[in-house]
Structure 1
């Protein structure tokens, strides 16, 4: 398995859709050139907004991570609403509005797209590894959500950064059901996977704001036996 952490492209939330496509296009083409037989685009924003044009740039199958809107609405009580939380470029996109409309149908008014850039930044920076640094931002985020959407019953963690904060969010809001969009893509990938054993190779890009050493430090704090190799796309 090749795991590419394209830290040079952070933050996605501030990018236009064209800039997103350029970033993930470079990443996908690099993975394909290194022998990947399929690719998981492990980011909600480009999965919703630019997945189809991205697929046209490579020859191998690409799977995206999409908000589980219909499943979430089915799971929460009928008188409750669902928030889809993600990067600003996702939240304000026509693509997300169309996805919600198609998935929710007559229940589309029960679904609210909310920007969570401040929470995503906690993970990008590594601050999420220190509980004291996340408690206040999460409490503020949840309080603002409750004020804006008093009937909130579910929250889709529609940034692949946000599940790292799921435990802290659940402690702050135990009455709100949390949904991880990655669950569906794992099941979908099963048809492309092969049996056997292998190895994990981690590749990473860097920027002045997100140097590779910071990434290595995060991996060490998480006690993950992963050594990233620096590359340029």
Structure 2
């Protein structure tokens, strides 16, 4: 936890902050080994960051005196990530990784090779998703919460939603065997589509390309989704 992320509910009437949840308290005690009087990096969700003095720490709560927080969070990546819904354990790790890298818009998409049972996973509950996003923000010292949208139908997404998303974005589909290599140092707004384990099926690729996306590859190696997404974002941006 390189940043203590505060929610509006943590802010007290006197302008300080108090946290009570066991995860953050445990991290303060066991990792930071924090003691009253220590100054730590904090940020308010979707707001500014800065340093705050820890004024009290016990088994049930930690209290902070907040000086004016004036540091802006790091810039977001100019990307909307469209990700075929991964296996639940991989989804958790991937959400944390892409959040730490600065992705702010994420669409989780059903495709032919996505197991239908994945959509029943507790990892898709709103509080679980938020927990993974928070972990990514804390790791990267960021405060701006990503927006995650669930897209359970591929055809409605490709035909009704994707064309609008591409109005002001360059669409890129990562898929083995595409002619174009993954671009580098992209600065314009981009939509990046990444398939499931085993990739998109041919019909899905045809629909994505017909909507205006460009196909690209990341080389001859076949990578796990969480590895491929991280490598793609690092190379593109």
Flag whether TM exceeds 0.5 (same fold).
Answer: no
Indicate the structure (1 or 2) with the bigger Cα radius of gyration.
2
TM-score by length of 2: 0.24
Which structure has greater helix proportion?
1
Q: Which fold has the larger relative contact order, with Cα–Cα distance below 8 Å and residues 6 or more apart in sequence?
A: 1
Structure having the larger proportion of residues in strand: 2
